[in-house]
Amino acid sequence: MRGWRKMTWVIVLWCLLILVWAIAGGASANHQSVQQCLSQGVLSQQDCQNAADAGTGIGVALILFIGFVGFVFLSLIWFMTGRGRRDCPVCGRGVKRGKTVCPHCGHDFAAAAGVPSVRTATT
pLDDT at residue number 49: 87
**Domain extent at residue 40:** 6-81
List pLDDT tens digits, range 108-118: 877 777 766 55
Sequence-ordered strand ranges (E) for 1-123? 85-87, 94-96
Quickly count: other Cβ atoms within 10 Å of residue 95's Cβ: 19
List pLDDT tens digits, range 46-93: 888 888 889 889 999 999 999 999 999 999 999 888 777 788 888 888
| SS3 category, 85 | strand
Confidence of residue 122 (pLDDT cuts 50, 70, 90): low
- 110 and 77 in one domain? no
- 75 and 21 in one domain? yes
Mean pLDDT of the region 13-20: 97
- 45 and 70 in one domain? yes
When divided into structural domains, the chain yields a total of 2
- 50 and 14 in one domain? yes
Asked if residue 9 lies in contact with residue 77, where contact means CB atoms within 8 angstroms, the answer is no
